[in-house]
Amino acid sequence: MAGPAVFDTANPTAGLLDHLDERLAKELALIAEAKQKGQKVIGYFCPYLPEELILAGGMLPVRLAFGGELESSVAGEEYLKAYSCPVSRSCVGYQVTGTNEYYNLVDAFCVTQTCENIKHVQEYLEKRFTKPVFRLGLPRTCDSTRSRPQSIEYFKGELQSLRAKLGEFGGRPIRDLDIRRAITLCNNIREKLRFIYEYPDQRHTLLDWYDSFKITQAGFLMNRKDYLKELELIERSIIGRKPPVEADGKVRMLLMGSMLGIGDHKIPDLIKETGGKIVTDNTCTGISNSRKNVTVFGIIGDTMEALAERYLYNVPCPCMTDLDRRLKRTSMIIQDYAVEGVIYYNLKYCDNWRTEYPIFKDYLQKELKMPILLIESDYSPSDVGTIRTKIEAFIEMIRGI
Amino acid sequence: MIVVGVDIGSTTAKAVVLNESATIWSAIIPSGNSPPSAGKEVFALAVKNSQHTMEEVSYVIATGYGRVSAEFANKTVTEISCHGRGANYLNPATRTIIDIGGQDSKAISLDEHGKVIDFMINDKCASGTGRFLETAAELVLRVKLQDLGTLSAKATDTPNISSACTVFAQTEMVSLLATGVPVENLVAGLHRAVAARVSSMVKRIGIKPTVMMTGGVAKNSGVIAAFRKELNIDVVVPTNMDPQLVGALGAALIAQEMAKNGGTGRV
Ligand SMILES: Nc1ncnc2c1ncn2[C@@H]1O[C@H](COP(=O)(O)OP(=O)(O)O)[C@@H](O)[C@H]1O
């Protein structure tokens, strides 16, 4: 990549993700190879889990945030109730169908105790499919100054026992030095992601959200060191490129709500097709996970405390009692990205998000004068027509006809 | 020059023709098993009714669930915007619209300029739709759809039909009939069940007067009466217009505006 590159100004991101795509296509084979050499693969679900601990133990973390597949979500009904959320049904469903190659490579699962649904997933993985499962307890109250020290203390304890279990599983105790190295690697990844995601600024990003999201999610699967290299490559090649002039007249939307897994395109695609444009998201699978670094204070700083501090406070999940924080965060995102409309994605039976919707709606409509649209859906294609009408009507409402 | 609004619904296809002096002609036909051809057909029929020719049509807007397949339209607009526009035209005081069609129900909130400010669509549950009324009338109660309104006005009591599921609601009605409950009372119960179901949705977007009901089910005076009771507020229907045509009228009004602005849409 020498000299000032000439870019196709009409399509400034052409070819940008090719290398990443190619690399990602090889991932399964590479993981299998690493397994052959004795490396363990640890699958986990929620971003409350510090993957630094897995990396420090010399193992491969894979975040199993898959979605959008009807077959596995139906297969999961054999064990979970039909009115469990499709994410949880798929987590179990992939064990039934055996169709997800990443799941098939997992040696052990780490499961954070977030919501009711995931609690049941964890039980079935262990009892029914006899997989090793390491649990990570999660405090619910982390918002008030009163509960904060207690919550951190508890979470730190949980992280310590996870560290011990992972060490045992990986065949060597996890050293502080290794955790520090892993933290540096993950912080570097976060910084690159923020740079790429928000280049050159939050309102006129070079990459559209769909590409940014793809880049973010590649990092759930890919060997993290290689992933960092891929990010560096992308970073280097976007510098100097200019985003397309914003005259597309599309409604700028924030997509927030339930987990938007790898493969769950239905809503993003419909937004695109109907003339909307997602400018950013506030879900547990997006950029929110990379907003903050883990900060260890100097040589004597407590790594476990640093991890507890960072991981307890950085996920937009309604299983927590920090509703006020999440409302404020949403309002900041709306300002930063000049959002014109909010799509609130609720996976059916994701009760926490659904129950909070009226509160979000009230807050957005009354305090921020921001239009908000609730979309309740699952992985079946049957509701595409109505959702299209809803989003189209929402766009007409914001733009006028 | 004339403009046309075509509303291709799940149950019926409707078309409204407007000329420059806002004279209205219309047509309604069943959607049958082919919404695309029903749309084309009702479009031609309404133009014929207007005594104009197809060549005089300057702009067409299609709406309704079959709008995507309307190749003759210059542009498509959602039912939400069309019902909003139509209701605002017929009664500018309208702030809340309840639209019940064959397979879904909608609640729309308008501001003082007639602009849509919020809406909800329910298509997940059949118990708040015209189809539910149709099957209950025809298959269970053995009465004509058109007679539901007059029948329920004669009711001496309104039995509770508690099942939220239409299939079970029908079973419930069958057993009520068996215990000797008169048909007109059951019809009243049926109307209350529909109104209750849809009301919970309307309440979520907030009820502001004037409340207007549109869509085919608004032709059923028994449902209107049930809504008045359920929401404890007056519910009006358009006076000079078939409520089933409000969506198509809105589409025609938007078409008129687009034609004036020289709007170039999807042809
Ligand atoms: N004359 C009538 N009396 C009572 N109900 C009627 C009458 N005509 C139509 N309906 C009701 O209207 C429904 C169709 O409404 P419509 O608005 O045309 O639906 P869509 O737009 O979904 O096709 C029917 O299911 C029926 O319940």
Q: Are B77 and A396 in contact (CB < 8 Å)?
A: yes
Whether the CB of B121 is below 8 Å from some CB of chain A: the reply is: yes
Collect all residues with Cβ–Cβ distance below 8 Å to A6 and sequence separation of at least 6. none
Q: What is the mean pLDDT of residues B19-45?
A: 94
Chain A residues closer than 8 Å to B123 by CB = 383, 386
| pLDDT at res. A211 | 94
Regarding the beta carbon of B76 and ligand 1, being less than 6 Å apart is answered: no
Q: Are A393 and B73 in contact (CB under 8 A)?
A: no
- In this predicted structure, the answer to whether residue A236 has a pLDDT above a threshold of 70 is yes
Chain B residues closer than 8 Å to A383 by CB = 123
| Residues A210-213: contacts with CB under 8 Å, at least 24 apart | A210/A268, A210/A272, A210/A278, A211/A13, A211/A16, A211/A17, A212/A287, A213/A260, A213/A268, A213/A281, A213/A285, A213/A286
Q: Are B119 and A397 in contact (CB < 8 Å)?
A: yes
CA of B12 to the centre of ligand 1 (A): 7
Chain A residues closer than 8 Å to B69 by CB = none
pLDDT band at A4 (very low <50, low <70, confident <90, very high): very low
Q: Are B61 and B251 in contact (CB under 8 A)?
A: yes
Among B66, B63, B85, smallest CA distance to B4 is for B63
- In this predicted structure, the answer to whether residue A3 has a pLDDT above a threshold of 50 is no
Q: What is the mean pLDDT of residues B19-40?
A: 94
- What is the number of the ligand 1 atom nearest to the C-alpha of B146? 3
Task: Write down the residue that tokens 């806002």 correspond to.
Answer: B22
Least confident of A115-129, A376-390, B154-168, B234-248: B154-168
Q: What is the mean pLDDT of residues B203-216?
A: 96
- What is the number of the ligand 1 atom nearest to the C-alpha of B64? 21
Domains parsed from chain B with CATH numbers = 1-91+241-267 (3.30.420.40), 94-237 (3.30.420.40)
Regarding the beta carbon of B217 and ligand 1, being less than 6 Å apart is answered: yes
Residue nearest to atom 10 of ligand 1 (CA): B216
Rounded to an integer, what distance in angstroms lies between the CA atom of residue B265 and that of residue A9? 28
Q: Are A393 and B78 in contact (CB < 8 Å)?
A: yes
User: pLDDT above 70 covers what percent of chain A?
Assistant: 97
- In this predicted structure, the answer to whether residue A170 has a pLDDT above a threshold of 90 is yes
pLDDT band at B64 (very low <50, low <70, confident <90, very high): very high
The whole-chain average pLDDT of chain A stands at 93
- In this predicted structure, the answer to whether residue A9 has a pLDDT above a threshold of 70 is no
Whether the CB of B143 is below 8 Å from some CB of chain A: the reply is: no
Q: Are A389 and B121 in contact (CB < 8 Å)?
A: yes
Regarding the beta carbon of B39 and ligand 1, being less than 6 Å apart is answered: no
| pLDDT at res. A7 | 53
Task: Write down the residue that tokens 């006899």 correspond to.
Answer: A130
CA count, 13 A, side-chain hemisphere, B29: 19
| pLDDT at res. A1 | 40
Least confident of A92-96, A314-318, A373-377, B228-232: A314-318
Rounded to an integer, what distance in angstroms lies between the CA atom of residue B251 and that of residue B256? 9
| pLDDT at res. A242 | 86
Q: Report pLDDT digits (tens) over A73-86.
A: 999 999 999 999 99
Regarding the beta carbon of B101 and ligand 1, being less than 6 Å apart is answered: yes
CB nearest B121 (choices: A365, A371, A386): A386
User: pLDDT above 90 covers what percent of chain A?
Assistant: 84
CA of B101 to the centre of ligand 1 (A): 6
Q: Are B115 and A385 in contact (CB < 8 Å)?
A: no
Regarding the beta carbon of B222 and ligand 1, being less than 6 Å apart is answered: no
Among A27, A55, A23, smallest CA distance to A42 is for A55
- In this predicted structure, the answer to whether residue A194 has a pLDDT above a threshold of 60 is yes
Chain A residues closer than 8 Å to B128 by CB = none
Q: Residue A397: closest CA among chain B residues belongs to which residue? A: B116
Residue nearest to atom 19 of ligand 1 (CA): B101
Q: Are B78 and A385 in contact (CB < 8 Å)?
A: no
| pLDDT at res. B128 | 87
CB nearest A386 (choices: B116, B118, B123): B123
Chain B residues closer than 8 Å to A389 by CB = 65, 78-80, 121
| pLDDT at res. B263 | 61
Say if strands B96-100 and B24-30 run parallel, antiparallel, or are unpaired.
Answer: unpaired
Q: Report pLDDT digits (tens) over B38-61.
A: 999 999 999 999 999 999 999 999
Size of interface A-B (CB pairs under 8 A): 38
Q: Are B81 and A401 in contact (CB < 8 Å)?
A: yes
Chain B residues closer than 8 Å to A371 by CB = 118
Domains parsed from chain A with CATH numbers = 29-175 (3.40.50.11890), 245-399 (3.40.50.11900)
Q: Return the higher-pLDDT residue of A254 and A204.
A: A254
Q: Report pLDDT digits (tens) over A302-361.
A: 999 999 999 998 888 999 888 998 999 999 999 999 999 999 999 999 999 999 999 999
Say if strands B105-110 and B116-122 run parallel, antiparallel, or are unpaired.
Answer: antiparallel
Residue nearest to atom 2 of ligand 1 (CA): B146
| pLDDT at res. B267 | 30
Rounded to an integer, what distance in angstroms lies between the CA atom of residue A22 and that of residue A20? 5
Q: Return the higher-pLDDT residue of B35 and B188.
A: B188
- In this predicted structure, the answer to whether residue A241 has a pLDDT above a threshold of 70 is yes
Whether the CB of A366 is below 8 Å from some CB of chain B: the reply is: no
| pLDDT at res. A144 | 67
CB nearest A393 (choices: B81, B115, B254): B81
Q: Are A393 and B80 in contact (CB < 8 Å)?
A: yes
Q: Are A389 and B117 in contact (CB < 8 Å)?
A: no
- In this predicted structure, the answer to whether residue A284 has a pLDDT above a threshold of 80 is yes
| pLDDT at res. A243 | 84
Say if strands A372-377 and A60-63 run parallel, antiparallel, or are unpaired.
Answer: unpaired
How far does A388 lie from chain B, in Å, by closest CA? Answer: 9
Whether the CB of B65 is below 8 Å from some CB of chain A: the reply is: yes
- In this predicted structure, the answer to whether residue A45 has a pLDDT above a threshold of 80 is yes
Rounded to an integer, what distance in angstroms lies between the CA atom of residue B200 and that of residue B124? 14
Q: Are A389 and B119 in contact (CB < 8 Å)?
A: no
Regarding the beta carbon of B244 and ligand 1, being less than 6 Å apart is answered: yes
Chain B residues closer than 8 Å to A396 by CB = 77-78, 80-81, 116
| pLDDT at res. A246 | 63
Rounded to an integer, what distance in angstroms lies between the CA atom of residue B136 and that of residue B217? 14
DSSP A48-60: TS-HHHHHHTT-E
User: pLDDT above 70 covers what percent of chain B?
Assistant: 98
Q: What is the mean pLDDT of residues B158-180?
A: 88
- In this predicted structure, the answer to whether residue A2 has a pLDDT above a threshold of 50 is no
Chain A residues closer than 8 Å to B121 by CB = 386, 389-390, 393
Whether the CB of A383 is below 8 Å from some CB of chain B: the reply is: yes
Q: Residue B115: closest CA among chain A residues belongs to which residue? A: A397
Collect all residues with Cβ–Cβ distance below 8 Å to A370 and sequence separation of at least 6. A334, A339, A341, A342, A364
- In this predicted structure, the answer to whether residue A124 has a pLDDT above a threshold of 90 is yes
Q: Is B97 helix (H, G, I), strand (E, B) or coil?
A: strand
Q: Return the higher-pLDDT residue of B263 and A64.
A: A64
Q: What are phi and psi of A193, to 5 degrees?
A: -60, -45
